[in-house]
Amino acid sequence: MGTDRRAHARFERSQVAQSIDSRAMFELIDHVGVAVSDLDRAIALYQDTFEMPVVHREVVESQGVEALLTEVGGGHVELLRPLGPETVVGKFIEKRGEGLHHVAYRVEDIDGTLASLKEKGIELIDTEARVGIWGSRVAFLHPRATGGVLTELVEPVEGDWRLRGGSHGG
């Protein structure tokens, strides 16, 4: 039995290794950002109706939002409430209403990824990474360069909950 279990564990590890390709530019979809005007109403939908636990809540001044992460599998939905009408998300809601705001890909080395995207001619909003939610390093690519999809890169900080495979204490 011991041999079977070890073989199975080896098989599982190889599956995990295959699911994250270190040669790929992006590791996986870290989160999808959703612009909301009322966080309590959003929590009622995502946590109570969709049964996705809220795992983090933070005011990110640099992005002008109060952000809340709900967990689904190994990924997250990032609910973004603008801190004011003049913020990026505030203007987004005024112009287009609530809804999908951005997609965020996790990367291992955000500086290297930004450099290689720049080299490929992708227009960047952030030429350098800045501090995002939960101490991560983030940068946005311009939707003009990405077919209208605002795209975020996320490099988790060391010891970050994202690296612990989903379950975390906060």
Contact residues for Co ion, defined by CB under 5 A: 33, 78, 104, 152
Residues in Cβ contact with 99 at an 8 Å cutoff, skipping those fewer than 6 apart: 34, 35
Query: Which tokens sit at 5?
Result: 């279990």
Q: Which is nearer to Co ion, 43 or 68 (CB)?
A: 68
The half-sphere exposure of 37 on its side-chain side, counting CA atoms within 13 A, is 10
d(CA 134, CA 77): 14
The three-class DSSP label of residue 44 is: helix
* Cβ-closest position to Co ion: 33
